[in-house]
Amino acid sequence: MKVMRINIEKIVYPGKSLGRCEDGLAAFTEGALPGETVDIEVTRDKKTFREGKLLNVIEPSAVRCAPECPSFGHCGGCSLQYADYAQQLEIKAACVRELLSQFGVPVEPIVASPAVWGYRNKMEFSFFDEGGVVSLGLHRKGEFNRYFPVPPCHIADPDFLPLIDAVVAFARGSGLPCYDKKRHAGFYRHLVVRKAQRTGQMLVNLVTNRQENTDVDYFAPLVQRLASRVSSFFWTINGSLSDAVVADEVHLLSGKEHIEEHLVVEGREYAFAISPFSFFQTNTLATEKLYEIVAQLFGGTKTDRLLDLYCGTGTIGIMLSSYVGSVAGVEQVPAAVENAANNSRLNGIANISFEAGSVEKWTKHRQPGDFNALVLDPPRGGISGKVVDFIARTAPEKIVYVSCNPSTLARDLKEIIEKGRYAIGRIMPVDMFPQTYHIETVVTLTKTH
């Protein structure tokens, strides 16, 4: 075992602690704060850098704190519990500043999450065999085939914990085994729980493998036990080899087809229907902060024709619809587009439409003048070169880019500016995911002509 002592200089995205060895070589580890001296076990030794596992903190930072959750370091859900929240915000803001410094635009102060614990309105757990006993948990840190039992989970809404206990007790009493990914056999696969934080409505989706002689009546005792707590209870059958939560069949065991969440943005209240597979931001109160910033930075007028790319279930477009003349949303996932259309009807919005299809294919034949404003909220991989070319060709007057990955954001902004003659206006990071390294960033761009 090769052990080296390093001095930590900073944390770089995505959550890696960067230090220097005595020979000047850069070394990366996890779990160390700027200014700390630590010992690492070298796991990768290259000519230009090293990687290592944190062994000991020799000189701790004054802002280091004890993790709130006893599972921290074992469970893969959190990464920054060893830093107090003020320091977490500075770490994230520093990452955004470093990645976007090439544009010469100051990054505005980071917006904090209203809640730093118990904020997640959705959790997805996996069933696993723990010494011959059915258990439920999250992936172990850095591993995809091993799990750590839950509870506890300090970032999940506290109301989830009684549901977890009831489901685990039912599964253990049933005598049926957990799904084994290697053998593709077993019954219990996943448990997804959701809560609409402003209405209190809760949704449970129990995901299992296909099993003979198992029907909806099988779950009646569990459904009855949770009837007073749960607004919607679903049973999803997933017989695929994929470990993702996908559906061959979905059965509503009790309650409504969806739960309803409300968002209050700049004094306006919007309603959103959330079904088992709907996308919705996982931090409701911070989402309101994010969307208020989007609305303020966008500065829409009734003459604007807004294009909402990667619109998901339509949340941003619906929220901006009252500021503009019209909104057109594009999303690849058909179910999300269906949800978006339902959400627009739920809110009585008439100046918005949605279309299902690949963003790249949809934008291929669009012409300048079809719209004059653009909002982008792509997945973590960012946008493709084809979408950059589309922006350059159609030249919208103003763009708002909402990103969950500052690394791909920096890449995309550079290409948009180079190809489309744009300048960055404002950059504002928003913390949606306390205790983790994840950060949302809102950027505005305007044409330089």
H/E element holding 172?
Answer: helix 160-174
Single-letter amino acid, residue 383 = I
Task: Specify whether the CB–CB gap between 30 and 83 falls below 8 A.
Answer: no
Q: How far apart are CA 153 and CA 420, in angstroms?
A: 45
Tokens matching residue 130: 């723990």
Distance of alpha carbon 40 from its chain centroid, rounded?
A: 30
Residues labelled catalytic: 404
Half-sphere exposure of 362 (CA within 13 A, CB side): 17
Residues 6+ apart with CB under 8 A from 200: none
Residues 271 and 346: their CA atoms lie apart, in Å, by: 7
Tokens at 182, concatenated? 């290697």
Residue 82 structure tokens: 């060893």
The angle at the Cα of 143, spanning 138 to 146, to the nearest 5 degrees, equals 55
- Cα dihedral angle (136, 141, 143, 149), rounded to 10 degrees? -10
Chain-centre distance for alpha carbon 195: 16
Asked if 69 contacts 80 with a C-beta cutoff of 8 angstroms, the reply is: no
- The span from the CA of 144 to the CA of 316, in Å, is 33
Local structure of residue 198 (DSSP, 8 states): T
